[in-house]
Chains A and B, each alone.
Chain A
Amino acid sequence: MVIRVGILGSGFAARELHLPVLSMISDVEVASIFGIPYEDALFLARRFKIPKVTDDWRSVINDPNVDVILVATPTYTHRAMAEEAIKAGKDVMLEKPIALTVRDGEEIAKMHETSGVKLMVAHCLRFWPEYVRARELIMAGRIGEPRVIRAYRLSSHPGRWFRFQELSGGVAVDMSIHDLDYLRWTFGSVRRVYAIGGIYSSDSATSIDHFMATLEFDNGAIAYVEGSWAMPRNFPFTTYFEVSGTGGLMTVDNQSTATVEAYVDNSYYRYSPMVKNAYYLEWIAFLNWVSKGVKPPIEPSDAVEALRLALSINKSITEGRVVNPGEVR
C-alpha cells in the first residue's frame, strides 16, 4: 500500500531534510505541498515531482488523497496545523519543537492520545548514527554510570523568523532541544537547571541566540549544554558530545569525524554524507508505525518534556536563578 504524504512548509526543513529522503522511500508518494510564498512551494513541487501545490494549508490536510501530514512550518504554526490534521484523522509527522509553550505541547499530545491518530515529533537526534551508537555504548555500561556530560550545538544565525523569541523560542527551544531531548532520553529526568546567555548576534531581534546551561539529573549526573546561533557566517555547524562515567570516557564530534572535506575558494565544506541518515531513519520509523503499528522511539510527551527543559533554560536566563523544570507549565 502506498502512503500518500501531504507537506506543509516549503522552507529549509522540507527542502533539505524531508523531501530528499521521501523521494528515496518506495511505498511513499508526496501528493501535495503547501508553502508561502507560493513560488517556493511550486519550486519544490517541480523539483520533487509533487502533483499538487497550494498556498492554502487546510486544503492539504483535508485532501482525501493525503494519508499523512508532515508539518515542517515555523514553530508558531505547529499547534494550529497539528490540531487541524488530527481533527481530519490524518497521522502527523511534526517537526521539532512540538510547540512554543508547554501548554500547547500538552494540548497536542492530549489530542493525539484521545484521537488515536499517530503523531511523531521529528527529534532526529534519536536517529543520528553517532548519537544512537553512543547511547548504545552508554546503555551497555561501557563507561559505567554516567557522571559528567558535555553537549554543544553551534551554528551561524538562521535569520528569518528565528530572529524573534516569540516565534522560534530562541536557540534553546529551536536547536538545543535536540540535545535536551537526547540527554533526557539517555540519562533520565532533570531536577535543576541554571543557564546564562542572551542576544549576541546582530541577526537576532528578540531571540536568545547564545546560551550556556548546566543541568542536574535525578540520578546525580550533571551536564553542560551550550547552544549558539552567534557563530560567524563561515563557522561550520558543529556538534559535540562527551560523557565521563565511573568506568570510562567517550567523546564524539561532527568535525573530526567528517568523511568528506572540500575547499572551494574562500570557503570549505566538511561533512559526513550518509544515505540512510537520521531523516531517512525517522521516516522509516514513522511509516512503520503508520503501516505496521510498530511504535517509534519517541512519544509526543517526550517532546513536551524536552520543550520544558528548553523553556527552563530561557526562564533561568531571564530570572537569573536555578530553575526546577517542574516550575515551567
Chain B
Amino acid sequence: MVLRFAVVSYAHMHAWSYTRAIKELEAEGKASLVAVFDNNSDRLRRVQEAFKPKAVYNDFDKLLAEGGFNAAIVASENAKHITYALPLIRAGVHVIVEKPITTMVSDAVTMVNEAEKRGVKLQVAFVMRYHDAVVEAKNRVSELGGIKSITATNHGTCPFDWFVDPELAGGGAMMDHIVHVADLIRWFTGKEFEEVSAFVGKNIRPELKVEDNALILAKLSDGTPVSIDSSWSRHETWPIWGDVYMRILTEHGVLTINAFNQNISLADNKGFHWVSFGPDADRNMVEDFIRVVENNLTPRASGLDGLRALEVVAAAYRSWREGRPIKISEVRVQ
C-alpha cells in the first residue's frame, strides 16, 4: 500500500518542505501526492506550479467530498487546525497536523479523542524529534545518567503574516515557539510538566498585537527545573532564522544540542548569512509517518504529545496574565 497524501493549506511555510518530501518519496514509489487545498488562490497557483499534484482545490468541502487520499498534512493557520483536521479524522484520514496541535486545549482534546475513536493516526509535526542531532542526543543522554536540568531556547526572527494575528495564530512567540522544545523536554525526560512560569517583556516590535518575547521557567513532575526562551529575538539581519538549543545537565555530565549549527558562512552583496547543510528532518518525519500507518504503530510525536505541549503553552499564557506560576492541572481539560 502506498500512502496517498493531501496537503491542506500552505499558510504555514513548512507545508512546502513536507510536500517536497512527499514528492521525493513519490519518485521512489513510497507515497503519492493526490491533492492540495489552499483557500488563497495565489498560493494555490504557486503550489500547483511547483508540485503538479493530481488535483487542486480552493474549496475544502469539495476536497473532502471527492477524497481519493488516505493521509493528509494540515499546515493551515494555527486556529484553523481543528477546522480542517477534525473533518479529515472523521472521514477516516490519517493526519499530520502542524504544531501547535491547536490553539485551545479543549480543541486538542477533541482531536485526540476523535482520532482514537476513528482509529486513525494523528501525528503532530514536532519535526525536531526527527532531527538527526536530536535523535543522537536522546540516545546518548541515557548513557549519562538521569537528567537533572535542561536549558532550552527556540529563538526566531519574527514571522509576521498571520503568525502575528492573535485570532489566527492564537498568540505570539509563546504559541509559536514553546511547543517544540517543551515536546523535546517531555520526550527526553519521559516526565510531564508540573508547573510553568512565564515572564513576558515589553515587545521588541511595539507595533505587534501579540507578544514577541517570553522566558519560561518550569518544573517537571519530579521537580526537574527547565527553562525555555521562546522569543522572536533574532533581528532580521542575524545570519540565521533562529535556533533550537538544549543544554542538558545529567548525573554524569552535560550534553548540548545546537541543532541548526551546521552552516556554511556566506557573505554576499545582500549581507552575511549562514547556509544550512544539516539533515532533512521534514523528510524523516514524513517517512516515519508512512511507517507508522503501514505498521499500525503509535506516531513518535502523537496527538497526545501535541496536547501535552499545548498545555504548557496554556499555562504560560495564564502565568503571564496572573503573574504567578501555574500548575498544569489548572489548565488541563479532561
Q: B-contacting residues of A (Cβ < 8 Å)?
A: 145, 147-148, 150, 152, 192, 194-198, 200, 210-216, 219-224, 226, 228, 230-232, 235, 242, 244-246, 248-249, 320-322
CB pair B325 A214 closer than 8 Å: no
**Most B CB atoms within 10 A — which of A192, A212, A226, A248?**
A212
B235 cross-chain contacts in A, Cβ below 8 A? 244, 248-249
A148-B201, A220-B202 are known; give 15 further A-B pairs, CB within 8 A: A148-B215, A150-B229, A194-B197, A196-B197, A197-B225, A212-B151, A214-B197, A221-B201, A222-B201, A224-B227, A231-B249, A232-B253, A232-B254, A244-B233, A322-B324
Once bound together, how far apart are the Cα atoms of A212 and B231, in whole Å? 17
CB pair B217 A212 closer than 8 Å: yes
Interface 0/1 of B196-210, CB less than 8 Å to A:
010111111110000
B229 cross-chain contacts in A, Cβ below 8 A? 148, 150, 224
Residue B323, interface by CB 8 Å: yes
A147-B225 contact in complex given A195-B217, A224-B215, C-beta closer than 8 Å: no
**Most A CB atoms within 10 A — which of B153, B197, B215, B249?**
B215
Once bound together, how far apart are the Cα atoms of A322 and B204, in whole Å? 23
**Most B CB atoms within 10 A — which of A194, A196, A242, A249?**
A196
**Looking at chain A's contact residues, is the secondary structure mostly helix, strand, loop, or mixed?**
strand
Nearest chain B CB to A313 CB, angstrom units: 11
Identify which of B197, B205, B218 contacts A322 (C-beta below 8 A): B197
Once bound together, how far apart are the Cα atoms of A211 and B219, in whole Å? 12
CB pair B231 A148 closer than 8 Å: yes
Nearest chain A CB to B106 CB, angstrom units: 28
Once bound together, how far apart are the Cα atoms of A228 and B249, in whole Å? 10
CB pair A235 B227 closer than 8 Å: no
Nearest chain A CB to B235 CB, angstrom units: 4
Residue B252, interface by CB 8 Å: yes
Nearest chain B CB to A127 CB, angstrom units: 27
Nearest chain A CB to B28 CB, angstrom units: 40
Once bound together, how far apart are the Cα atoms of A88 and B206, in whole Å? 55
Once bound together, how far apart are the Cα atoms of A221 and B204, in whole Å? 9
CB pair A196 B217 closer than 8 Å: yes
A148-B233 contact in complex given A200-B148, A214-B217, A221-B202, C-beta closer than 8 Å: yes
Residue B213, interface by CB 8 Å: yes
Q: Residue of A at shortest CB range from B323? A: A322
B272 cross-chain contacts in A, Cβ below 8 A? none
Residue B138, interface by CB 8 Å: no
Once bound together, how far apart are the Cα atoms of A197 and B249, in whole Å? 12
Identify which of B151, B233, B252, B325 contacts A194 (C-beta below 8 A): B325
Once bound together, how far apart are the Cα atoms of A45 and B148, in whole Å? 43
**Most A CB atoms within 10 A — which of B199, B226, B238?**
B199
